[in-house]
Chains A and B, each alone.
Chain A
Amino acid sequence: MRRDPMQTITDEISAILADRPTPRPRRKRYPSDDETPAIATRLPHADYERLKALAGSRPLALVVRVILQDWLRKHHADGDAEIARLVTRPIITRNNS
Chain B
Amino acid sequence: MITIVIANQKGGVGKTTTAVTLAHGLALQGKGVLLVDLDPQGQVSTFLGLPQESGVFDLLVTRQPLAAVIRSTAIPDHDRNGLLVIPGNSRTATAQIVLAAEGFKLDCLARALGAVRTDYIIFDTSPSVGLLQEAALYAADWLIAPCAVDYAATEGLTGVLTTLQAVKEQASNCQLLAVLPTFYDELTRESATTLRQLTYSLGDAVWEPIHRATILRECAAEGLTVFEKAPCRATQEYAVVVEKVLSYET
The answer to whether A and B come from one shared complex is: yes
Chain A residues with a Cβ under 8 A of chain B: 2-10, 12-13, 15-17, 19-24, 26, 50-51, 54-56, 58-59, 61-63, 65-67, 69-70, 73, 80, 83, 87
Task: Determine if A26 and B177 form an interchain contact, defined as CB atoms under 8 angstroms apart.
Answer: no
Choose among B25, B164, B197, B247 the residue that contacts A4 (Cβ–Cβ < 8 A): B197
- Given the interface pairs A16-B165, A20-B175, A20-B176, the reply to whether A70 lies near B231 with Cβ below 8 Å is yes
**A contact face: mostly helix, strand, loop, or mixed:** helix
Task: Determine if A24 and B202 form an interchain contact, defined as CB atoms under 8 angstroms apart.
Answer: no
Choose among B29, B164, B198, B250 the residue that contacts A62 (Cβ–Cβ < 8 A): B29
A-B contact pairs, 9 of them (CB 8 A): A4-B197, A6-B198, A8-B158, A9-B158, A61-B29, A62-B28, A62-B29, A66-B28, A69-B79
Choose among B29, B198, B247 the residue that contacts A23 (Cβ–Cβ < 8 A): B247
Q: How far is the CB of B225 from chain A (nearest CB, A)?
A: 10
Is B102 positioned at the interface, with any CB of A under 8 Å from its CB?
A: no
Q: How many residues of B contact A (CB 8 A)?
A: 45
- Given the interface pairs A21-B175, A83-B79, the reply to whether A63 lies near B236 with Cβ below 8 Å is yes
Stretch of B45-53, B212-220, B237-245 contacting A (4+ beta carbons < 8 Å): B237-245
Q: How far is the CB of B191 from chain A (nearest CB, A)?
A: 14
Task: Determine if A63 and B239 form an interchain contact, defined as CB atoms under 8 angstroms apart.
Answer: yes
Is B157 positioned at the interface, with any CB of A under 8 Å from its CB?
A: yes
Q: How far is the CB of A95 from chain B (nearest CB, A)?
A: 16
- Cβ–Cβ < 8 Å partners of A17 in chain B: 176, 202-203, 205
- Cβ–Cβ < 8 Å partners of A23 in chain B: 244, 247-248
Q: How far is the CB of A83 from chain B (nearest CB, A)?
A: 7
Q: How far is the CB of A51 from chain B (nearest CB, A)?
A: 8
Task: Determine if A9 and B233 form an interchain contact, defined as CB atoms under 8 angstroms apart.
Answer: no
- Cβ–Cβ < 8 Å partners of B151 in chain A: 3, 5
Task: Determine if B247 and A24 form an interchain contact, defined as CB atoms under 8 angstroms apart.
Answer: yes
Closest B-chain residue to A22, C-beta based? B248
